[in-house]
């Protein structure tokens, strides 16, 4: 489970969120640029979590969506290698 939680996509999304939170400490007004930054961060976090879920499901031999960036053949080859 550790390899899923400490993936680069998830870590970069978390650090991006921390950066946005730190920028909110300043007494600047909430503008449309700030709203877009938060929206972008939310999308990035959702994609990172989706990638983790697809990797986890693929490693367990469950169905993965066709539009997933996870390579099914690579996941199954890794799973077969672990069984040996």
**Alpha carbon separation from 24 to 43, 45, 49 (Å, rounded):** 19, 19, 24
Q: What is the pLDDT of residue 42?
A: 94
Residue 44 CB contacts under 8 Å (≥ 6 apart), including other chains: 9, 12, 13, 16
Q: Does the pLDDT value for residue 66 go beyond 90?
A: no
pLDDT tens, position by position, 12-50: 888 999 989 888 887 778 889 989 999 999 999 998 888
Q: Does the pLDDT value for residue 84 go beyond 80?
A: no
Evaluate whether 54 touches 61 at the Cβ level (below 8 Å).
no
Residue with tokens 């997933």: 68
Measured torsion, CA atoms of residues 69, 71, 72, 74, in degrees rounded to the nearest 10:
-150
Q: What is the pLDDT of residue 26?
A: 78
Q: What is the pLDDT of residue 58?
A: 74
């Amino acid at each position: 489970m550790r390899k899923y939680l400490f993936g680069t996509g998830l870590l970069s999304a978390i650090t991006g969120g921390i950066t946005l939170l730190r920028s909110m400490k300043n007494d600047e007004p909430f503008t449309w640029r700030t709203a877009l930054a938060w929206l972008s961060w939310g999308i990035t976090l959702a994609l990172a979590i989706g990638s983790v879920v697809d990797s986890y499901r693929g490693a367990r031999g469950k169905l993965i969506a066709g539009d997933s960036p996870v390579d099914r053949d690579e996941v199954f080859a890794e799973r077969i290698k672990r069984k040996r």
